[in-house]
Structures are given as C-alpha cells and as structure tokens.
C-alpha cells in the first residue's frame, strides 16, 4: 500500500483499538500463560505492546514487562492506562530496537508478527528474540491460521463492519497470495468526524512456516494450542498459540 510504514497501523487505530479489539483474546488466560512460563516476578518482553491491553495486567500479576511499539499514538494510550508506570515502554521497531536481555519469556500477540511485511524481517524477529531469551526461555506467538486454499487466488472485498445511527465503518481489502500479503482500510464515516481512514497491512505465514523460522533461530516448538487457555489444536483450528523454547543449558542441550 503506497505510503504505508511501520507507524501507520498504530497511528490509525490507537484511538479505537481498545474499543474494537477488547475481546479478541482472553486477557486473563494470556496473563496466566505468561506467568506460568516466566515465573513469579519474571521478565517478559512484549512485541507490539500497543495500548498495554496485555502488558498492564501482566504487571499487575507481578511480571516485569518491557514493551516495544513503533507508534507514539499507541504508547500514549499505554501511558494513560499504566497509572502505576509499571510497564517499561520503548518506542521502536520490534526487530531492530529490542532491549537487552535476558528475558524469561517473550510475547507477540494477536497476529502482530504478521505486521512484519516480508519473510526476511519475520525471520530476523525470531533471531533477535531468541538472542534475548535466557536458555530455556519461551517465545509465545499468537496468530490466525491462514486458509491457504482460499488465499491461492487474488481477491478483493468490500464489506460492512459497523452500522450505527451516527457512524458507518466499511472494510476494504485485497489479497496477494503470491507474496502472502493482505492489506486494506477500515473507512469510517461519522457525523462528528467526517471520513477517517484506518489502514492495515500484513504478511501472513502458516504455522509450519513459523516453526521453520523458529528452528533456524534456535527455538523448538514446545506446545501449540488453539487459544491462550490451552484448548486443543487441530486441522480445523482458525488460530494458534505456539510456544517456542530456546535451546540451551536450561533444557539440558
């Protein structure tokens, strides 16, 4: 998408993110999962921390969280939410600007790994995260499972997302299967604000492709579920939570 960069998504969605995506994942289950992996008082790195939807509850549970996000608008919302200043927030890229480790666990939630728009950058993300985990540390990746058959052909779509008395939101999207890319706009019309464009762009990957990236970075798939609460994963699952572990002294390798 012409003009789209690493800040476009956050800057476009920061003011509505908590309203639109409050229920996309189970916050309590996510906190419990990260607490079980990092341990009480453990150090957690969250990539694409956004408004702190997950980071602030993790801190409340006793974890020490460092969150990275490229959008100043998103981090401003995190500051408003994080009244205790418990989250260490870093404005930067989730590949090139990661803080020093070691971390007990890392998290990239709700498709955020797909915001890295090519395979090389996604691979580098796995490498950089692995380099900051302690031996035996965990990298948790939450993402949708692509319908590869449906995505074999280029498609476009215009559909209705929201209809209310004072606003309408349309979803406009295109698929580029050859490059495993999809991008679009949420176009919002409102009495108060006129027209507002909210762009997004992703490079999707299958669970198997993510496993290969993890393996090349020295990470091993330890568990795969269909949600943070640990529901079973099978061929019909539409999303996955994949937990990769860093090989090293802590696991006897």
User: What is the per-residue pLDDT across 166-178, written as a single tens digit (0 to 9) for each?
Assistant: 999 999 999 999 8
Q: Band of the pLDDT at 152, cuts 50, 70, 90?
A: low
Co-location of 160 and 64 in the same domain: no
202 or 5, greater pLDDT: 202
Q: Is 153 exposed, middle or buried (0-12, 13-18, 19+ CB in 10 A)?
A: exposed
Specify whether 74 is located in the same domain as 114. yes
Q: Give the DSSP H or E segment for 13.
A: helix 8-13
* pLDDT band of 29, cuts 50, 70, 90: very high
Spell 154-171 as b/e; 16+ CB within 10 A means b.
eeeeeeeeeeeeeeebbb
Indicate if 136 and 222 belong to the same structural domain: yes
Is residue 246 within 8 Å of 139, Cβ to Cβ?
yes
3-class secondary structure, 164: coil
If asked whether residues 36 and 123 sit together in one domain, one would say: yes
Q: Are residues 93 and 115 in the same domain?
A: yes
Rounded-to-integer distance, Cα 206 and Cα 226, Å: 14
16 pLDDT above the threshold of 70: yes
DSSP string, 63-113: -EEEEEES-HHHHHHHHHH-TT--SEEEES-TTTSPPP--EEEEEE-TTGG
Q: What is the dihedral of CA 210, 182, 26, 240, to 10 degrees?
A: -30
Return d(Cα 6, Cα 26) in angstroms, integer: 26
- Residue 191 to residue 162: CA distance in whole angstroms: 14
In percent, the amount of the chain with pLDDT more than 70 equals: 96
pLDDT at 224: 98
Compute the average pLDDT of residues 6-11: 88
**Number of domains the chain contains:** 2
What's the chain's average pLDDT?
Answer: 93
Are residues 121 and 230 both part of a single domain? yes
Q: How confident is the model at residue 251, as a pLDDT?
A: 46
Report pLDDT for 250: 47
Which of 207, 248, 205, 249 minimizes the C-alpha distance to 226?
207
Per-residue pLDDT tens for 210-243?
A: 999 999 999 999 999 999 999 999 999 999 999 9
Least confident of 15-29, 92-106, 200-214, 227-241: 15-29
14: containing domain: 8-146+205-251
Q: Say if residue 105's pLDDT is above 90.
A: yes
CATH number reported for the structural domain that contains residue 34 in this entry: 3.40.50.150
Instruction: Calculate the dihedral angle through the C-alpha atoms of 25, 152, 214, 208, rounding to the nearest 10 degrees.
Output: 90
Check whether residue 213 and residue 115 sit in a common domain.
yes
Name the residue with higher pLDDT: 191 or 39. Answer: 39
Strand partners, 175: 182
Residue 167: predicted pLDDT: 92
């Amino acid at each position: 998408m012409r003009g789209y960069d690493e800040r476009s998504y956050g800057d476009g969605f920061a003011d509505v993110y908590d309203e639109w995506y409050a229920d996309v994942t189970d916050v309590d289950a996510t906190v419990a999962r990260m607490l079980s992996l990092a341990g009480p008082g453990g150090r957690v790195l969250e990539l694409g921390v956004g408004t702190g939807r997950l980071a602030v509850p993790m801190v409340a549970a006793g974890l020490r969280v460092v969150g990275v996000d490229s959008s100043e608008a998103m981090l401003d919302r995190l500051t408003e939410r994080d009244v205790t200043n418990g989250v260490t927030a870093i404005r930067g890229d989730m590949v090139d600007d990661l803080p020093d480790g070691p971390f007990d666990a890392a998290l990239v939630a709700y498709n955020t790994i797909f915001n890295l728009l090519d395979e090389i950058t996604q691979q580098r993300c796995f490498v950089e995260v692995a380099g900051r985990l302690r031996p035996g540390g965990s990298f948790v990746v939450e993402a949708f499972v692509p319908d590869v058959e449906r995505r074999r052909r280029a498609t476009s779509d215009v559909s209705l997302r929201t209809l209310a008395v004072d606003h309408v939101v349309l979803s406009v999207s295109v698929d580029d299967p050859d490059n495993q890319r999809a991008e679009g706009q949420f176009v919002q019309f409102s009495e108060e604000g006129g027209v507002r464009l909210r762009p997004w762009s992703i490079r999707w990957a299958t669970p198997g492709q993510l496993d290969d990236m993890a393996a090349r970075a020295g990470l091993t798939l330890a568990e795969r579920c269909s949600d943070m609460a640990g529901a079973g994963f099978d061929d019909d699952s539409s999303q996955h939570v994949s937990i990769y572990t860093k090989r090293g002294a802590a696991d006897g390798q």
